[in-house]
Amino acid sequence: MNESTSHVLAIAKREWRAYFDSPVAYVFIIIFLMLAGFFTFSLAQFFEAGQASLNGFFTWHPWLYMILVPAVAMRLWAEERRSGTIELLFTVSVTPLQALLGKFAAAWLFMLLALTLTLPVPMTAAYLGSPDMGSIVSGYIGSGLLAGAYVAAGMFTSALTRNQVISFILAVVIGLFLILAGYPPVTDLLARWAPMWLVDGVASFSFMPHYEALQRGVIDLRDLVYFASVMVFMLFATQVVLKNKVGR
């Protein structure tokens, strides 16, 4: 293991411990599981539908992540800047990129842990009927990638400000845009005054067409590349902000 990798792992372990050293992680996981269950079994009427389908379960994930992931990510850099430990962090031979990757890995793994704890939902569907396991696996892949994209966006807004509330609000706004960009009300409104190439360009930023394709069980390389591109772009933007803040 080279020195760079060891620094990334050290930062990831530090952030992972930080989640569980406080009640925040447990509260978040409980709220996430309760809301996921409420949306699936109450709003989506899982039992009343009489079908072993998890469409109602996965449909709500973008909206859950839009609110909950910024709450997880808002402290990643804002707290470091507020307390002044960001300068200390970068004086121990740790580069902004290494710290960035370590923090992102810890936050994404935390979200994947919360997502993994929802496995009783597909197990319930399998017990009650014969669901399409391919679409369930694909849906979980899509949900995991969606969570990673939200984490990357939350890290970007956290690097912009030392105020966690402002970081949270900015991340929610970005998440809302990435959900609604492809919806007909938005594209129809843009089409009234904007050229079609601009309308199509804005719509292409939306999470939903890519996520919904994975939710249906269609694993297309273009959808995987899209989510990877969002994460890479947000992490790159975060790195640029950090370099400007610390001068490295």
CB 140 within 8 A of CB 115: yes
Instruction: For residue 146, give the nearest of 100, 209, 56, 211 by alpha carbon.
Output: 211
Give the number of domains in the chain.
1
Both tokens of 159, joined, read 């690097």
Name the DSSP class of 181: T
Provide the residue range defining the domain that includes 15: 3-246
Token duo for residue 77: 């850099």
pLDDT, tens digit, 9 for 90 and up, residues 150-206: 999 999 998 888 888 888 999 999 888 888 887 766 777 776 767 776 767 777 778
Q: Which pLDDT belongs to residue 36?
A: 84
Rounded CA-CA distance 59/110 in Å is: 21
Q: Per the confidence metrics, is the pTM higher than 0.85?
A: yes
Task: Indicate the burial class of 223 (C-beta count within 10 angstroms; 0-12, 13-18, 19 or more).
Answer: buried
Q: How far, in Å, CA of 29 to CA of 49, rounded?
A: 27
Q: Tokens 């970005």 belong to which residue?
A: 174
